Chain A
């Protein structure tokens, strides 16, 4: 009884203080439906792809555009809207899966709930209706001969957004990938343009046979370096082969996100793209970062990229430091490489893998200095990962008959 009494007492205390907080926070204005909505610029810049009778279009909604359309400031809750249109001319109904765009996407009612105000039931209901009307009808089947469009609410992301569209039907799946720009940030387009125009046709090094591929890959630089190319550092331990749409989305599906990292140099330039594995829910993601450089090599017309993956000393248990501080690296660099390769085996886009000689340190005893002079050990191999179109199951993964990791253990 005593216990219950204490609970109730505490409860009224809590409720009391909650009401106070709510009243304090409710000071700002309530929702008013925008009089006019201008979606034309969004539809104009939307990217479109078509395959197997299904046409998909997508665009990122800028923050200012969002305020104009939805009547609320989405950035306040770090929300970003994506406009999607699907036209189905295939032979069976399909369903759109927003999880592919963002596993933590928000349904419209949850967005509006976050913007609800106390003592404003009518305005709140109007906001509910407004967002529901504008949102993509994710629950409806998209029947043959029909078209569906609307907004999907995702977590806010800076710069270029990879929009992955997954549609399923009876014994059917259709996937599209878009690299969509945030209209508020111009820098995204520059990144894409740079990738596409990096090498002229004459510079491209075309390779067709597996043996020739192995030869050119083994001749790539062993390691990354500092700006002057003087001291060599972490080993280049990953080779990625595939269309950029296929492999970047594979990383995305396994929880990696674009992230600016400290500069490392290869081929005389800083990394072209870099990324990091993020946490999922309350579980901290593996402390893996990766930097990529495009090479002029084209294997069976697929672009070849090289990468350097490593984790920092102590991984998730290391002390935190500002982004510009380079923390000591985990000396067992191969742990990161092998974790990355295994992880990507589950991306449903890996079609072939193998190991080749890389940095030349064939034995665990060899040591090399990283920029902060952290010695590390490696078996000296680099993993080669070839990507194709989704979905590829584990069973479909093929192997290069090259180095056997077992011989290096």
Chain B
């Protein structure tokens, strides 16, 4: 195809979508109100491990502006406030790379706003944390909207102390909130499981497929189970570059359309709701790949099961390999999923093996084999096939290396269905 022609077409597309964006955007403006730069101190979270006490808080976008005097969020920068109290005899170091391997240097962030870096340097958290002392300050990291998973690793000559937190943003729009997993089920509805074989049976009895809102149509297979504490699971996902996403359309759909056309990687584009236990996903995750059109999507629902006191989530993962437009989804555009959904499951398991928080892995029976020659269709009409198993991932507090992962001898996933190696 010749270039000018494709450019013309593209411009035409952008124009028509820009019109659509303008049309849908309405006319809301906000009045600036004075913000207390210390308000984040009312939302701190604290955790103690031996002699070390760590307190964290994340200022909102407007608080961050009040603290730094510039709109950090406009450059996708977010400050995280960290305080470490050291009551022991060893000197500790906080590793910023653990919080975000691509954190911003204060000088770099100041440059982004063409301002002197003195104030940025002053606000920065400073190592080391000597015996009997307390250090506090900010680390500038990549912006997360809605909530933030915070990994704090402190090392000394003798020990490593790891802390994981999840903080929520009180200012963030109501269409995206972290579900309170501790109050989702009433105490009397919770089913406690102690025995591993019993767990296997119960996991096999979980629903096989997601459904539509009315629960009368079956969609994608539920092919994942995560077991662990939220504070171990969520930061493990974040560490592997997964991002929680909005479920509904509102602002996000506009940003999706924009990023689709520009080939950018908008990290919060929404994923459509699917239903299990009569409700849409409690949390949706995605991991962007080369472009927005190629992503891994995962949705999770908290189940009423508790295994040895830990939460059991059931979920669904698929991989997008393109975008199509549809009226079957409230987001207009929907992603074409790769029909081989087990590949996405395998990728997820492997990815999380590197998260340093996966302690155990196994497979249990799920929806049963869906043959490649007779694929099923999901709710938006994309075909899929599967060996019908669910991957079961057990999470523990960090760190777990690859060598320490225990593999349960439950089911064994098969290779490609119905395709012999070497015809």
Contacts and interface: CB of A to CB of B under 8 A. Distances in A.
Given A173-B401, A281-B267, A285-B102, 9 more contacts: A25-B1, A109-B340, A281-B241, A282-B264, A287-B108, A316-B108, A339-B103, A339-B105, A348-B401
Interface stretch (A81-89, A216-224, A388-396): A388-396
Contacts of B415: 137, 139-140
A331 B353 CA distance: 39
Task: Give the interface residue-count category, chain A.
Answer: 35 or more
A137 B326 CA distance: 34
Interface stretch (A6-14, A188-196, A225-233, A291-299): A6-14
Interface stretch (B273-281, B374-382, B406-414): B406-414
B75 A317 contact: yes
B9 A21 contact: yes
A173 B361 CA distance: 14
16 contacts: A3-B24, A10-B17, A10-B20, A99-B351, A107-B347, A110-B294, A133-B421, A168-B405, A169-B407, A172-B403, A173-B403, A282-B265, A286-B103, A339-B97, A339-B103, A395-B399
- Considering residues B105, B287, B288, B294, which has the most beta carbons from chain A within 10 angstroms of its beta carbon? B105
Interface stretch (B38-46, B151-159, B207-215): B151-159
Interface of A: 3, 6-8, 10-11, 13-15, 17, 20-21, 24-25, 27, 97-99, 104, 107, 109-110, 113, 129, 132-133, 137-141, 166, 168-173, 254-255, 279-287, 311, 313-318, 330-332, 335-336, 339, 342-343, 345-346, 348, 390-395, 397, 399, 405-406, 409
B112 A139 contact: no
B401 A255 contact: no
A139 B413 contact: yes
Contact of B406 (A132, A141, A171): A171
B343 A109 contact: yes
Interface in B378-407: 399, 401-407
Task: Give the interface residue-count category, chain B.
Answer: 35 or more
Contact of A129 (B1, B288, B404, B419): B419
Contacts of A15: 325
A139 B107 contact: no
Contacts of A99: 347, 350-351, 354
Contacts, number: 201
A13 B1 contact: no
A406 B128 contact: yes
B241 A132 contact: no
Contacts of B403: 168, 171-173, 391
Nearest to A14: B325
Given A15-B325, A281-B289, A330 B20 contact: no
Contacts of B241: 280-281, 283
Interface string B319-331: 1011001010000
Contacts of B201: none
Contacts of A317: 75, 108-109, 111-112
Contacts of A395: 159-160, 399
A253 to B, nearest CB: 9
Interface string B74-108: 01000000000000000100011110011111111
B392 to A, nearest CB: 15
B30 interface: no
B308 interface: no
Contacts of A172: 403
A332 B107 contact: yes
The 5 A-B residue pairs with the shortest CB-CB distance in the complex, in nearest-first order: A282-B265, A315-B108, A317-B112, A173-B402, A314-B111
Given A113-B322, A406-B130, A132 B416 contact: yes
A314 B110 CA distance: 8
Nearest to A172: B403
B401 A391 contact: yes
Interface string B346-386: 11001101101000000000000000000000000000000
B290 to A, nearest CB: 7
Interface in B259-303: 264-267, 287-290, 294
Given A138-B346, A339-B96, A133 B419 contact: yes
B97 A284 contact: no
Contacts of B402: 166, 168, 173, 390-391
A281 B108 contact: no
Contacts of B23: 3, 6
Interface string B331-348: 010000011101100110
B324 to A, nearest CB: 9
B31 interface: no
B126 interface: yes
A139 B155 contact: no
Nearest to A20: B9
- Considering residues A140, A283, A311, which has the most beta carbons from chain B within 10 angstroms of its beta carbon? A283
A343 B5 CA distance: 46
B112 A346 contact: no
B165 to A, nearest CB: 18
B9 A393 contact: no
Nearest to B108: A315
Nearest to B19: A10
Contact of B338 (A13, A109, A330): A109
A65 to B, nearest CB: 18
A282 B421 contact: no
Given A287-B108, A332-B105, A342-B95, A409 B126 contact: yes
B248 to A, nearest CB: 15
